Homo-oligomer: A and B are copies of this chain.
Amino acid sequence: MKRTAFFISDGTGITAETLGQSLLSQFENIEFIKLIRPYVDTVEKARNMVQQINAAAERDGERPIIFDTVVNREIRAELASCNGYMIDIFATFLAPLEQELGDGSSYSVGKSHSIQHNHHYQDRIDAVHFAMDNDDGARTQQYDNADIILVGVSRCGKTPTCIYLALQYGIRAANYPLTEDDMERLQLPPALKQHKEKLFGLTIEPERLASIREQRRPNSRYASFAQCEFEVREVENLFRRENISYVNSTTFSVEEISAKILVQMGIERRLK
């Protein structure tokens, strides 16, 4: 069974998309064709959307599901004329919130993802540059400014996690790959030792690690199961010995790994 879902907004569409995806993910038996339609900010564009929705309804033989965060009433009225099942996110929650907060909503478009509303926007951009400059142990002299330093074997997921922490939360995340040298020395390199309270470990199943490394350097010792198994075991020993908290990244997304890290380290995310 196929159903089309539209995520429609007069801004970026991120809120409609995030909520819509969450809700639709609960229906496992249905295959959805998902279409994001940001910047539907004129009645004319809304009219065009209505045509797209009605065409999808005809094609599917079922009306599409519409997740809509349009703020403007005229545009919303135009959209409402479509042959879709409307989930009007703002209409559902704003009126009761106005009553609870005893204050009127500004009904302004796209505030949530604008620079103006986002007090920490520059922190997030600076953190992205920080994460890129401090990727893969390239430098250690900026560790004084790091909020967190991710450690683990090569290719266990450190880089995307740092980038996510930086971009979403403005957290200055560096990462340092632990190598065989570090393992043989049986202790942390000095650059890490002096920032021990910022360290967080990532680990991974050796099978998964070998398959990731195989894509990068086929048939290498680096990608062999024996090597991966050795490195993972040694690094986990190191984490335990040095009392470094760690997460196994094998079955988790960067979103999940990041949320777990922040909970475990007790870092409060910087919100707008």
Contacts and interface: CB of A to CB of B under 8 A. Distances in A.
Interface of A: 3, 11-15, 17-19, 21-23, 25-30, 34-36, 38-39, 65, 69, 85, 87, 89-90, 92-94, 97, 100-101, 103, 105-108, 110-118, 121, 124-125, 128-129, 132, 135, 157, 159-160, 163-164, 167, 251-256, 258-260, 262-263, 268-269, 271-272
A108 B29 CA distance: 13
B87 A97 contact: yes
Contact of A94 (B26, B30, B268): B26
Nearest to A7: B271
Contacts of A253: 113-115, 118, 121
A252 B38 CA distance: 15
Contact of A39 (B107, B112, B259): B259
A12 B259 contact: yes
B19 A106 contact: no
Residue of A19, A115, A124, A255 ringed by the most chain B CB atoms within 10 A: A255
A129 B159 contact: yes
Nearest to A12: B259
> Which 7 interchain pairs have the tightest Cβ spacing?
A25-B111, A26-B105, A113-B255, A22-B112, A12-B259, A15-B22, A18-B18
